[in-house]
Amino acid sequence: MGLDDRKLAVLRAIVEDYVATQEPVGSKALVERHQLGVSPATVRNDMAVLEEEGYIRQPHTSAGRVPTDRGYRLFVDRLSRVKPLSPAERRAIERFLVGAVDLDDVVHRTVRLLAQLTRQVAVVQYPSLARSKVRHLELVPISTTRLMVVMIADTGRVEQRLVELPAPVPADDVTDLRRLVNEKLVGCQLAETPPLVQALVEESAPHLRPAMTTLSTVLLETLVERHEERLALAGQANLTRGGLLDFQGSLRPILEALEEEVVLLKLIGETEPSTTRVLIGDENEFDNLRAASVVSTGYGPGSTIVGGLGVLGPTRMDYPGNIAMVRAVARYVGELLAQN
Amino acid sequence: MGLDDRKLAVLRAIVEDYVATQEPVGSKALVERHQLGVSPATVRNDMAVLEEEGYIRQPHTSAGRVPTDRGYRLFVDRLSRVKPLSPAERRAIERFLVGAVDLDDVVHRTVRLLAQLTRQVAVVQYPSLARSKVRHLELVPISTTRLMVVMIADTGRVEQRLVELPAPVPADDVTDLRRLVNEKLVGCQLAETPPLVQALVEESAPHLRPAMTTLSTVLLETLVERHEERLALAGQANLTRGGLLDFQGSLRPILEALEEEVVLLKLIGETEPSTTRVLIGDENEFDNLRAASVVSTGYGPGSTIVGGLGVLGPTRMDYPGNIAMVRAVARYVGELLAQN
DNA sequence: GACTGGCACTCGCTACAGTCGAGTGCCAGC
DNA sequence: GCTGGCACTCGACTGTAGCGAGTGCCAGTC
């Protein structure tokens, strides 16, 4: 059952060659391209064992071997080191991210950069509101019964929402409301807000109470519970790389999955331990993505995590390279956010 | 040269059949499915003329006919009526758009709705800032040398930008700045702003001038000149509909084009005359989209136009249906915006 | 006992030939 | 001007054959 070092080396070689050439790799080609120090026949025996253990498989009887999801998993866990970035890549990252003027800009640049570097589909989650603190709340009267609430978070995120008030509210009262909500909520994590918002209603003067009630409802509903998460996506054209060989001929399920925010959030949404996560093939829970792998990690200023980012591509991807890039980009973005 | 009525009827029948079946249509099948009142041989003669004139072509010698871009153009211009929406479609539109809470919500719902109704890729441009009026400008101090500028437009759009001030500015001065910019700019079309912003700097008190200068630069740069346009996209999975027959086997160029905001803006960006625009195949200026058609129109509250929306799909698309849906959706969105 | 060279075998891929049939263009006749 | 008839074209499909990459197995060697 034990896989000795050479068998592991064979597996590594198979993965590397297959990722590079996209063609099933045979024993002869293997010994030619890698210094294994043994003959093709020996490699064949090792391959037979690897196949029995489920790490590789033969698409057809007379074809070479291809790694299975399990094979990639072993490769990622034990056979590969994170590839250091080339100076050119480092420079590309810096050049790309320098000069971003606001959060939107940072996110868009990041997602494009990631797509370009990895040549995969890139996904970046905006800093999660749940993990942000309120920096400022602005109330802008649109009419006497309408208020635009603008929340600015310390992560740079800005969310707005229109509030329909139950009754007209004079300008002075708006000023009071503004002062009150800011006094109470600035500096708070949004996730911990609900009791505070509740208290806000109870403490406010009677004539403000109706307005404050709807205001608080909206705050809770929109900013905490509802669509609070946002995503940016780029590099979908990269899915067509490698012809139709990846994804067994149909991009449809993949494209569909990419349109579902919920799916993407589950995939790259910030994971508690701040480590890089790799989901290979059917390890992820979505049928549509059985032919895809995801490399993701969390990012944030300093050592905190405020959101996730990652790439999605065929199981046949350059894991060490992609892991390195995802991590590097996450770190740079974190630094960028820390500057604000 | 003249195309008599029957030849036009033949062309119409070819387009309709081809759109429905996605297969080259022959003379026999045509007379079977449509009441043309003549024999296949006659139809063949008509087809020969239509082909000579460039309205249809034969993929292979022994195959039926397929419309050319020019054929579709004639069909759209003279042979089709806009298909009235079914009650179910009408209801779908209303149900989908009711309950939108803010502009983002409206745009996202709209783009999804359009993708779902037409089964094509849908694109919606956010209300153009150039065509919006300033409703309010908010300055939020982030630190003594940093200001977050939040602009709220009458179309509901909210844009923000971080401003790095040349020197620390006390809170009172921020209040003054806020009052000044709002006094001068609220109610203005952003496109007409530059001279006003200029004046703003000149009229402000000396101690405010440095801050006002950077502020005005940022206002002009970010809100007027730069990335002011935003887009939402949905339904990319619909590109895979119809296998690989459309788009001659590769989605790549299409997906690439869809990632270029500039391209999409040129395609669906609000067009001066508020009419529906149809771009067929190589009528559009982008090589990547030679195999695609675009149906787009402007939308806005009342009779004004603040942005564009549309769908993109294979040249082989249901033009009358898509035109109807694009128009209907645009009208509903316009009404929705008018309510604000 | 582990490795190796040799060998028979498998099977997908390509090329080629042959058949089928949808669809055409043309022409003579009504 | 329309129609039926007819010869023709050519792509799609099928079956066959040869090739070659790659395998599994086995006997032989260090």
pLDDT at A287: 93
Search chain A and give the residue with CA nearest B135.
A142
pLDDT greater at residue B226 or residue A276: A276
Burial category of B302 from C-beta neighbours within 10 Å (exposed 0-12, middle 13-18, buried 19 and up):
exposed
Strand C reaches within 7 A of the B173 CB:
no
Instruction: For the beta carbon of residue B136, count every other beta carbon within 10 angstroms.
Output: 21
Phi, psi for residue B137 in degrees, rounded to 5: -120, 130
Nearest to B161 among A102, A135, A258 (CB): A102
Instruction: For the beta carbon of residue B44, count every other beta carbon within 10 angstroms.
Output: 15
- What is the average pLDDT value for chain B, to the nearest integer? 89
Nearest to B150 among A105, A138, A259 (CB): A138
Whether the Cβ atoms of residue B306 and residue B270 lie closer than 8 Å to each other: yes
CA B42 – C1' D1 distance (Å)? Answer: 9
Phi, psi for residue B317 in degrees, rounded to 5: -130, 165
CA A23 – C1' D20 distance (Å)? Answer: 16
Encode pLDDT of B291-337 as tens digits. Answer: 999 999 999 998 889 999 999 999 999 999 999 999 999 999 999 98
Q: Which nucleotides of C are covered by protein (CB under 7 A)?
A: 3-6, 10-12, 21-27
Share of chain B above pLDDT 90, in %: 49
Residue A325 confidence (pLDDT) above 80:
yes
Which residues make Cβ contacts (< 8 Å) with residue A227, sequence separation at least 6? B105
Report d(CA A168, CA A170) in Å as an integer: 7
Whether the Cβ atoms of residue B201 and residue B209 lie closer than 8 Å to each other: yes
Copy the structure tokens of residue A107. 């996110």
Report d(CA B109, CA B97) in Å as an integer: 6
| Chain B residue numbers touching A227 (CB-CB < 8 A) | 105
Cα A186 versus chain centre, distance: 28
Q: Mean of the pLDDT values across residues B157-166? A: 88
Confidence class of residue A274 from pLDDT cuts 50, 70 and 90?
low
Q: What angle do CA A138, A139, A144 make, to 5 degrees?
A: 170
Q: Mean of the pLDDT values across residues B269-286? A: 84
Q: Mean of the pLDDT values across residues A75-102? A: 90
Residue B226 confidence (pLDDT) above 70:
no
pLDDT at B227: 60
Q: Which nucleotide is nearest, taking the CA of residue A14 and each C1'? A: D22
Q: Which nucleotide is nearest, taking the CA of residue B63 and each C1'? A: C23
Q: Mean of the pLDDT values across residues A177-184? A: 90
pLDDT at A280: 96
| Chain A residue numbers touching B105 (CB-CB < 8 A) | 227
Give the range among A53-57, A232-236, B176-180, B217-221 with minimum mean pLDDT. Answer: B217-221
User: How many CA within 13 A on the CB side of residue B278?
Assistant: 24
Which residue, among A302, A319, A294, has the nearest Cα to A125 in the 3D structure? A294
Encode pLDDT of B101-132 as tens digits. Answer: 888 889 999 999 999 999 999 999 999 888 88
Highest mean pLDDT among A291-300, B90-99, B193-202: A291-300
Confidence class of residue B1 from pLDDT cuts 50, 70 and 90?
very low
Whether the Cβ atoms of residue A264 and residue A284 lie closer than 8 Å to each other: no
CA A20 – C1' C5 distance (Å)? Answer: 30
Encode pLDDT of B3-45 as tens digits. Answer: 788 899 999 999 999 999 889 999 998 898 888 888 889 999 9
Report d(CA A255, CA B314) in Å as an integer: 17
Confidence class of residue B247 from pLDDT cuts 50, 70 and 90?
confident
Share of chain A above pLDDT 70, in %: 95
CA of A53, closest CA in chain B: separation in Å?
37
Encode pLDDT of A185-222 as tens digits. Answer: 888 887 777 777 788 888 888 888 888 999 888 888 77
Encode pLDDT of B131-150 as tens digits. Answer: 888 889 999 888 889 898 98
Strand partners, A189: A133
Nearest to A152 among B105, B148, B256 (CB): B148
Residue B93 confidence (pLDDT) above 70:
yes
Return chain B residues 26..65 having CB < 7 Å to nucleic acid strand C.
26-29, 40-41, 44, 47-48, 51, 58, 62-65
Confidence class of residue A1 from pLDDT cuts 50, 70 and 90?
very low
pLDDT at B313: 96
Whether the Cβ atoms of residue A311 and residue A289 lie closer than 8 Å to each other: no
Residue A165 confidence (pLDDT) above 70:
yes
Kindly give the interhelix angle for B209-218 and B193-203, rounded to the nearest 10 degrees: 170
Confidence class of residue A321 from pLDDT cuts 50, 70 and 90?
very high
Which residues make Cβ contacts (< 8 Å) with residue A88, sequence separation at least 6? none
Amino acid identity at A332: Y
Confidence class of residue A270 from pLDDT cuts 50, 70 and 90?
low
Nearest to B158 among A158, A234, A256 (CB): A158
Mutation test of the interface with chain A: which of B134, B159, B161, B289, choosing the one with the most A Cβ atoms within 10 A? B161
pLDDT at A87: 94
Cβ within 7 Å of nucleic strand D, residues: A 24-29, 40-41, 44, 47-48, 51, 58, 62-65; B 6, 37-42, 45, 60-63
What dihedral angle (degrees, nearest 10) is formed by the CA atoms of A136, A140, A146, A149?
-20
